[in-house]
Structures are given as structure tokens and as C-alpha cells.
Structure 1
């Protein structure tokens, strides 16, 4: 194999060869994306849902039925180039797999949705202390009691990601992430988790840092896992998503801070 270094193409090749790992802190400066793949019959309503909930589901690209590429975001094979996928049947999570080639059918439509892992390097570069950004570490995600704007059969509640931010850096973190609307933008809530129905003891899939240290404040951003709750609410007969934390690494550059 040609040595591509620490590039998006190199990481995708490693995933294609069977390596499974979370993508937090990989390829700083390149955008990461949530993936949703659903039958064409549901695709227009799903896109309406995404556009109705842009903070949680900023739409980066939509593919054509049966195609497993998204040329606007890079040269990759969506069936094999993510580290881990989740399969849904009738709206319920059914299995995880590292390769969905055998499940891809001509009626499936792929959607890429912005991911907050894309802005973490900018937070660190701006001087925000971010304990969840590093090899083997990641932010956590939580279900809330905030309803999404429904479209067609798609609805459910908002999912948020949480990062513990030093209190004197919350304003800076807000300012930096506001400049990343394609990666969820500014926080949707700061402070008391219970105010939005979050239980810090119950992160989605048990993934990520959940502790709040002395002098830190829990800060919450809208999260792309929201689309899973929408798929569940619609009871889509079959769907494929990334496994939480195991994102699509694209070839698109993230705009850094001045």
C-alpha cells in the first residue's frame, strides 16, 4: 500500500483494511461527517427533516440512489471507508459492522451531515482547554427532552454533545464554534444539564468523557446523532448510519481561526 501519511485518504484506507477506532482528533483541519443512508422512498422527507433542524443536522451533501460516493466531499467509498457502521431495521438499532457493502442496494440514498469533531482543533488552537480532544478520548452525547421539528414521519428529540469547558473559556468556545455552522455552530445550552433533560450518567452508547472538573462548565452542542432519533421515530424499514464517534473523514478543509 502507498504510504499516504496522516491524511484523510490514509485513515480511510486503514478503516477499509479493517482498523476500527473512534475518529476524535484524527486529521485536524479536515471535516468529519455523520452518515445516514436510507431508502429513496424516504429520502425527500428525510432531507426536509434535516433542513428543518439545521443546528443538529447541517446537510453537507446528498447522494443519488444507489451511489456510494459523495464527490463534493472527497473520493471515498461510503460502504467501506468508515471505521464502524450501525444498521437499523424498522427504526431500531440492529447491529454494528465494519463493512456495509453487502447491505447496499440500488434504492439507498446517502446523506452527509456536519460533525462537531470538525471544530475541536480550532477550539484547541484558540486556547480552549479541551480534555476530550486526543487519541482515545472523545466528547460524549446525550438525549434531551427538546423536541425536533418534525417533517414527514421524522421527529424525535434533540441529541447533544457535551464538552467540559473551563468557566473563563466558555465565551471563547462559543465565539469559535459560532463560526462553524456546518459543524453545528454555537452551543445550544450552557450549564445545568437537567434544564434540557440530560442525565450525565447516561451518555449515548456509553461513549466519551462525562465528568465535570473543578472550575469547568458543561457546554452542549446540537449533535448529528439526532438523525438516529428521527430514523427511529419514522420506523424506516432499513437504514445505515455511522456508529457514534466513528465518523466519515472527508477531504474538505475546515476553515481555521484567523
Structure 2
């Protein structure tokens, strides 16, 4: 499996998963022209995308989904709550799914894990490649870490994880108190510290890549996020060299993991 982060941050989020003959986007938070441009930089034709799975309805995750689906024939999948809250989605066919459910899209087995965020029915995504058994997870706009999320992320090979803000930079940053409270609250975003703690909890020898995403331009710095998470991983089973920061305005990746043996897949229930 290959994972490309086409861009991640408050201006837009989109992540490409590739396995076998399947290409699936997790979110399409950029205008369709930007999505096409980012895909072109890695040699991917827009017509080759099979589907888009939306994690929630906020514009930085859904902005280009409807236009792209209509223009290029992409299948669109979202929770019922997401469809209900996004007026654009009512104008095109959408395959709905429930949070905390599993379903198949092409070569991928998808687990949609409900998360705490100020959206209608937001989810984190765990995708397992049917042939190799490689598991990738996308967890951003998390709010707070639940036991269900921690369990879902525990044995993944590639983890795209939110490290939105530095707590001190947020406290003394440009936002009014109400916005600071929203960001740091239980339905907001994970701080660097919280991301580091979750990464440490999920650390195991099979984790090949940890990609830090949704980094704030106002209340964070890539180097600060990287250092904080690496500090939390010190002494764990994951080397700090496996941690990278995802860009907002450029493609990051690919993150790639090799296939599992049959016994490993059986052990993990793949």
C-alpha cells in the first residue's frame, strides 16, 4: 500500500490510498483544480480515482468532493450525518455508511471509527489492503482520544495523525478565547503533546511511518510538532526517524509498507 498526503491543514485535506488496482481518496478538501494538479505531480490521472471517503462535512475536508465526483465520476461515500449537514451532497448520489462500521471499497477493507469533533458524525479511517494486509489509518480533527480510537490505531503500519497546535502557541496566539477553547476542547483538535501521547500508546515495531498532519499555520511550527512527538516516542518501539511532517501546500509521501505474511494477517484478524 502507498499513502500520499496531497495536502493537510486548515486550507484543505486530501489523502490518497493506493493498493493493487484501487485508488481511494480520504477527503477532498481542495478545489477540484488543485486536486487534479496535486495528483498530476505524482503521475495519477483524476479518472483513475475510484472513490472519495469523507471523514466529515467541514469545508477543509469536503470542498472539492462534489464537483470532482460529478466531473470525473468518482464514487462518494460519507456518513448519514455528514450528508445531512452538507447541502451539496444532496445534489449527487452518495453511498452512506454508519460510523463504527466496516465496508469494502475496491481492494480496501475500511473501518470507520467515530471520533469526537464538532461535526455531525465525524470518523477516522482505517484501511486494510486486501492482498497485503497492510493497514493505514487517518486520524485528524480528533478532539479527544477515545478507547475505541486507540484500539483502532494500535496495530497499523502507516499512521497519519493530527498534531494541530502547540499548546503554548495557541494560548498566546492570535485567536480570541472562544476559538482557542474550541480548538483545545474535547471536540476540537489534538495538540502536539496529545498526538505524541497517542503515538506512544500506539507504538509497535510494525509501525513503518508516522505522518503528522493538520498542522496549524498560526499556532504551530513543523519543527516544534516533530520534536514534541519524537520526544514522546523516545524509548518506545518506534524510532523518531519514522516521523515526518505533512505539508499544506504540497504533496508529502509516498508512505509505503510491505505486505504481511499469512501468519501475521491471521494474528491481526486481517
Shorter-chain TM-score above 0.5: no
TM value normalised by structure 1: 0.28
More helix by share: 2
Structure of higher RCO (CA pairs closer than 8 Å, 6+ residues apart): 1
TM value normalised by structure 2: 0.27
